[in-house]
Amino acid sequence: MVIRTQDRGRAAGIRGQLGELCYGSGLLHSLQRMRAWWQKDLRILAYHRVMPLPDPQSYDFDLELISASPERFREQMKLLKQRFQPMRLTDVAAALEAGDALPADAVAVTFDDGYDDNYRIAYPILHELGIPATFFVSTGHIDSGRPFAYDWLVHMILRTGAPRLVLPELGLDVPLPAARAERRALAGNVLLQMKDIDARAQSALIARLEHEWQMPGDAAPPECRPMTWTQLREMRAAGFEIGSHGVHHRMLAKLPPAEMEEEVRQSRASLERELGPMPLLMSYPVGGDRAFDDRVIGATMAAGFQLAVCYICGTNPQPAANRYALQRLPVERGMGPGWFAAMLTLPSLMSYPTASRANEPARVPACSR
């Protein structure tokens, strides 16, 4: 159940406050023009979900996947149209192939996973405003309609009546707190720790809890339903790009090589089977520096993908140099209009830095999902 809460867009933390200050002062437009003169980098925005902001006490899924309310998203896209140069990723790929420079203030809009609010809410706004976007979908979830595994894990931890959370895979055995906020924090910590183990072990952990707690994810509740192929066909016919986010939303670098390569190939085959031939674009599931590596990049190239994005925060001053690991700027639900505008204008100052976690686990992470 989603109970709408008011979206005030208040500044959150020092970045939010500084962004609102710059936005309110009217300096951002001048700073943008100055920056565009000397820094011609590609910005790629990363969204997951656009939906009315729910009451955390009644919402049974991962709040961190909500990027913006519908109203806030519309404001963001209007700003993008007024002050920047929205681009399709296929046009970016074509420019890179031809050796052409990208226009100043080039921005691409992307979505990960494939939640149906992308179709119900984000797509009509983008279509109305004429903003191109790429929707990266996990094809196995589009096929099955099953909820996304990480989100279902959060749901189970929030809803289970079990007295303890016992995860020997993570060396975790703790009582399940009664308070919803404490359970949500515990679920977030479990998600972070899970990403240190291999992908098959992650899947087995979630499947075991579904069985032990009798909470099978056979059908997605409305709050976490993926899109359908019919919806994606409509979006593609309207000019929007559909790309691969793997098959089962597993961390590709944490799969055995043959299984990883099959996941990449199968995602391509599913897209072409359902949507027809198309330019091939990839977003690595999870997308941090533990989720993809040189093997994954090689498999992506071998499968014929034109470019790929990750979930490491940053812009791309020379996109041709890292066209299979393009960095993005995550959009989060706490961003008011000032913070969002400031992040696009001064991304290195206003976006979250991503610390390397390839060799050690991390507990913080704006850019880990």
What share of the chain has pLDDT > 90, as a percent?
A: 75
Per-residue pLDDT band for 21 (boundaries 50, 70, 90) equals low
| pLDDT above 80 for 358 | no
DSSP-assigned beta bridge partners for residue 44? 108
Per-residue model confidence as pLDDT tens digits over 298-323 = 999 999 999 999 999 999 998 999 99
Report yes or no: 272 and 249 within 8 Å, Cβ to Cβ.
Answer: no
Domain ranges of the chain: 13-147+220-350, 149-212
Residue 267, C-beta contacts closer than 8 angstroms, at least 6 positions apart: 138, 139, 244, 245, 246, 247, 282
Q: Is the dihedral of CA 207, 223, 124, 11 positive or negative?
A: negative
User: In which band, very low, low, confident or very high, does the pLDDT at 25 lie, cut at 50, 70 and 90?
Assistant: low
Report the relative pairing of strands 172-175 and 164-167 from DSSP bridges: antiparallel
Mean pLDDT of the chain: 88
Predicted model pTM: 0.90
Predicted confidence at residue 330, as pLDDT, reads 95
Mean pLDDT, residues 23-27 taken together? 59
Q: Which CATH architecture has domain 13-147+220-350?
A: Alpha-Beta Barrel (3.20)
Rounded mean pLDDT, 219-245:
95
